[in-house]
Amino acid sequence: MATSIYSIKKIYTVDDTEIEIHPLKIKYLREFMDIFHTVDSAKTDELVVDILSDCARICMKQYYPNFSNSIASVQDNFDMATIYQILDYSVGIKINADKQETVKQQATTEENDSSWKSLDLAKLETEAFLLGIWKDYNELEMSLSMPELMSTISSRRELDYEEKKFLAGIQGINLDEQSGSDKGQKEWEDMKARVFSKGQAKDSRDIVSLQGQNAINAGFGIGMGLEYENLS
């Protein structure tokens, strides 16, 4: 079975132009979150809608640059339901027009507002940069989305650990038994769960963490024969 780090979704403009959406590269994610966090100080839902449309404009820099020039360009080419889809598919910000809560209340829920705050992004990027693939951090951020970054680091850590375990085994040491890093490993797994679930999962035991690469590794998950409904 073919594997993938993330899923690709298709959206359509008001004139039925098809655009493919997938997680934002880190460079655009930074711009997105800088604008998104201004929702906290917005006084009206109309202003919140403009802020979210501006976030979608940042997304268009990656997906369809012709629509990235202005908020008006986004609002002229997408209805609000599609703008909410863009926010969901690209970053994991979930807005539902049918809910009773206002758009601002939904945008500023803990699930939406803190998805990336707990990540030490600079540390993670430094770890990936040591692979020597990118000439600078800007190139790294233009090359990788968060799921890609986490998958790259995870694979590298696993390879490093297997090498250390082999060398320790030559000396008669069982590294699995000697390891005292259970807490650190738990924190890493929790972080991966939050990223691969776009901030929905609280930790690695949360069912919504079984998406994308995590679902593939587990052999099942959301989008692979297992569905769930968020009743909150």
What are phi and psi for residue 10, nearest 5 degrees?
-110, 135
Q: 12 versus 6: which is more confidently predicted?
A: 12
Residue 91 has pLDDT above 70, yes or no: yes
Does the model's pTM come out above 0.85? no
The neighbouring-strand residues paired with 10 are: 20
Residue from 50, 26, 23, 25 nearest 39 by CA: 50
Q: What integer pLDDT is reported at residue 188 of this predicted model? A: 58
Q: What integer pLDDT is reported at residue 228 of this predicted model? A: 46
What does the pLDDT look like over 122-171, one tens digit per residue?
Answer: 888 999 999 999 999 999 999 999 989 988 988 888 887 777 777 767 76
Residue 116 has pLDDT above 80, yes or no: no
The Cβ of residue 157 has, within 10 Å, a number of other Cβ atoms equal to 13
